[in-house]
Structure 1
């Protein structure tokens, strides 16, 4: 998978809008069409939440819709943007499993600002959690694509982790032709068939550069994909710039996130982007 420069601006193929829900197709810097949706929240002048789903997710998946619904009900949230990463759902292209997906998030954040939101918070789950960290940790921000707070849930700290059975299955799906075929047929996820070239900056090396943007790291003590050394490594690399929540009984990403946790996440953002 070839990496791309992270210093150019995004484009959108939809006009600006101000009020009401909307479905749109966004165009990334490298020309991939991204399926996106906007839903207004309960606070007219509030901040926008941009939700970055996990691997094999999509904006139409029940867990993503549920998270977006809950976020939109929290005081301070003015709107919620959901989108499907490349290679997922109705979006074009093929998944690069966290590399070029930074460009997809760029397009979604810029769209949220076109909706009239002066403040935007990115919330990512699993693969999406790694993307929001790398996106916010870039040394050069794209015009209109910066975020005002970052929340990463169930993110890996480093690449190529195979220490758990679920992650060994994920790597099989990504690296083997049969795995990619199965992912496309059963999960609707189209995965790129080339290796990263160059290897993108891992999340643990990106988080020190997120400062002074507020950063929340959330991880479950029952996460079957990434054990606790991942969030602990991220928190150590971020230093006192990050807040870390280790959630008792929580498993992995949006599919396992309880409503109470999702509400607390949105309330944390509301307290930091008033």
Structure 2
């Protein structure tokens, strides 16, 4: 019909003018958190798993010890998820522990501390080497008899997942939450603040001491490809999850990642209030992600997974 817009493709799930009550509440609670509470969550003094779990240690192919939590799912030798957190966080931070606990209600879970974070050894390399941590996590699940593995990467974890895919990671699907398409995009204030912190030696040192992570000087990290340049050759089903109010990476990053992966990727544009990374991890999102993992294992596609708006 003249003058009407064609419907969006199936691989794009948009949620404009929609209110997600859980995100609204989460944003309100974030605004009310004290600096001490933020520090306690970042250092994982608060948080941790409520689901049955035990600590396991992995070793990457370059010899770095990776701490992880193993969360057994409801059935033996069922599908499994490797959960990879964002920068300056850890697997025991409340939001990541919440997501891992929810996923373990459906599938086996292995939640990692990336190198330089939490209880792992090594030093953060801003995505240049973290793909090795992802590969070690997937290998650990396979050693336990898991055939169908899905990787859920958040922010830095999404970058690491893209690099692992480009190096031949064989998984049933990947979920990229608040991921960047280009590493050094300083358009938004969040990334400008980060860049100023990690490039200033004194500020970087103080930040590491406060937040409890360890990273290399960015000037010593050789250039490495952007995630958007790594997805062109993949046929692995992908789910890109992003909020319109991300203060680090705009929604353009999400669409670039979706487009780079071609027809193998689905995009969920979340409602306002999603923010960045763990900001948007609510019980409703956890439930949708658990359903998405089950869907991609069965269908080899995320297209039929319940997207934004399906949780009311």
State the TM bucket, normalised to the shorter chain. 0.7 to 0.9
The structure that has the greater radius of gyration is: 2
Say yes or no: does 1:257 pair with 2:281. Answer: yes
Which of 98, 101, 119 is the equivalent residue of 1:90? 119
Q: CA deviation at 1:44?
A: 3.0
User: 1:49-88 counterparts in 2 under 5 A?
Assistant: 49-74=81-106, 77=107, 79-88=108-117
Deviation sequence 1:12-54 (CA, Å, 0-9, x none):
xxxxxxxx84312211111111111101112333211100100
Match of 1:193 in 2: 217
Whether the 8 Å contact between 1:40 and 1:72 is mirrored in structure 2 is: yes
Whether the 8 Å contact between 2:68 and 2:112 is mirrored in structure 1 is: yes
Q: Which runs of 5+ in 1 are unaligned?
A: 1-19
User: 1:130-149 counterparts in 2 under 5 A?
Assistant: 130-138=159-167, 141=168, 146-149=170-173
Whether the 8 Å contact between 2:238 and 2:265 is mirrored in structure 1 is: yes
SS in 2 for 1:248: coil
Deviation sequence 1:106-148 (CA, Å, 0-9, x none):
111111111221111000001111111221133xx2xxx5211
CA RMSD of aligned residues (A): 1.5
Whether the 8 Å contact between 2:125 and 2:221 is mirrored in structure 1 is: no
Which of 26, 31, 40 is the equivalent residue of 2:58? 26
Say yes or no: does 1:120 pair with 2:149. Answer: yes
| CA 1:40–1:228: 2 relative to 1, 3 Å | same
The whole-number CA distance in structure 2 between the counterparts of 1:243 and 1:187 is: 34
Which of 201, 205, 210 is the equivalent residue of 2:234? 210
Match of 2:262 in 1: 239
Which of 203, 206, 210 is the equivalent residue of 1:179? 203
Q: CA deviation at 1:239?
A: 1.6
Whether the 8 Å contact between 2:198 and 2:218 is mirrored in structure 1 is: no
Match of 2:184 in 1: 160
Match of 1:40 in 2: 72
The whole-number CA distance in structure 1 between the counterparts of 2:250 and 2:229 is: 18
The whole-number CA distance in structure 1 between the counterparts of 2:275 and 2:74 is: 29
The whole-number CA distance in structure 2 between the counterparts of 1:43 and 1:252 is: 33
Whether the 8 Å contact between 2:152 and 2:175 is mirrored in structure 1 is: yes
Deviation sequence 1:219-266 (CA, Å, 0-9, x none):
011211111111111112122111111111211112322221122122
Whether the 8 Å contact between 1:173 and 1:182 is mirrored in structure 2 is: no
Give me the TM-score of the superposition, normalised by structure 1.
Answer: 0.85
Give me the TM-score of the superposition, normalised by structure 2.
Answer: 0.75
The whole-number CA distance in structure 2 between the counterparts of 1:137 and 1:194 is: 22
The whole-number CA distance in structure 2 between the counterparts of 1:62 and 1:167 is: 23
